[in-house]
Amino acid sequence: MTRLSATNFVVLAAVLWGLVGVVIRDVLDAGVGALEVAFWRCLFAGGLFCLHAYSTRSLRLHAPADLGALAAFALLVNAAHYVTFNVAVLHGGVGLVNLFLATLPALIALGAALSGNPPRPATLALVGMSVLGLVLAAGGGVEGVAVSALSVGVGLAAALTLAAYTLWSKSLLTRYSPAALNAFVMPLSALALLPFVGFHVGFGSKSPEIWGWLVVLAVFPTYLAHLLYQTGLKHLSPTRAALLASLEVPVALLAAAFVGERFSGWGVVGVALILGVPVLAAFGDRGGAALPRPPAHPRRRERRGRPPEPAAARPGGHRPVQLLTNLYNPDNPAARAVAIDPEEV
């Protein structure tokens, strides 16, 4: 895959994610609870990912220790992001939560700096551009949103969990395909949410329209978007992927304008700056140079006649509790496998 192809995948995922807020708002307005929307989204998309992974013969656990890491990722990152995003849409509005998501490039750049791989000056300029756009958009005011301690808190939590999703996915994708990773994560997320789901609208009480929107949420901004984003993320640095994914924000704000959430004054300038970030980031990938393929799994190395790597040098040889620390330890082989390449960022 070329860098240009990976860029296109992330951009398409961002467009799909940008439309999810207005759909979720309609489902929430129909009386379906925020937790229940997250549950059905994970359950339906998990079924699609299981079929996909099974058909490609990638539905397998590479190491028993991975199950704990995948469960933690499902609960603390994936399910948490869906819930906080839904609650932020319910109590603040689509525009407000997406303003917080505009901080994603800055959060990822901070994670890169903590890992000992500071981004290039050009990337830092794009991060600064996104933060300036956020400040102007927030300062210009948004019609139709409600700013409160709850909406701000869950909006910030949605941004933080999305940043953690990008960084942790980058680590897990070194040994799992996007379909296989989500075939474990999505059902585990649904299972974690099930005890807390109130099912405010019963199965028989849901109209065909509500079920239709829940299916749409599962297929397009969940199954397809996650598949595209993680496929591109495998071949891009987290910072570059976050800059490209920031296209989600202006797409979401444009969609929110049709439901009464509009920016005025400096807010329009801020949205334009945020929109310019993924455009400039994608312009830097126009060359389309071929990217190095990720290292083969040890079993594949054996089938090709090459000896497997030592267990200590494989990302899969680490315990689940080390997954996050691996991201910030440049001396660890697993960290080097997902380290941010200065030439990429």
Quick one: pLDDT at residue 125?
86
| 120 occurs within a structural domain | yes
- Is 256 inside a domain boundary? yes
Model confidence band, residue 303 (pLDDT cutoffs 50, 70, 90): low
- The pLDDT value recorded for residue 145 is 75
Q: Is residue 301 part of a domain?
A: no
Whether residue 304 is contained in a domain is answered as no
| Total number of domains in the chain | 1
Q: 249: pLDDT confidence band, cut at 50, 70 and 90?
A: confident
Question: Does the residue 302 lie in any domain?
Answer: no
d(Cα 278, Cα 7) in Å, to the nearest integer?
Answer: 10
pLDDT value, residue 87: 96
For 75, the domain range is 3-289+309-338
Residue 118, pLDDT above cutoff 60: yes
**CA angle centred on 193, ends 188 and 197, rounded to 5°:** 150
Lowest mean pLDDT among 36-50, 123-137, 183-197: 123-137
Higher pLDDT, 302 or 254: 254
Q: What is the pTM of this model?
A: 0.77
Assigned domain for 315 exists: yes
- Pairwise CA distance, residues 108 & 241, whole Å: 9
Region 311-321: mean pLDDT is 44
Q: Does residue 294 sit within a domain?
A: no
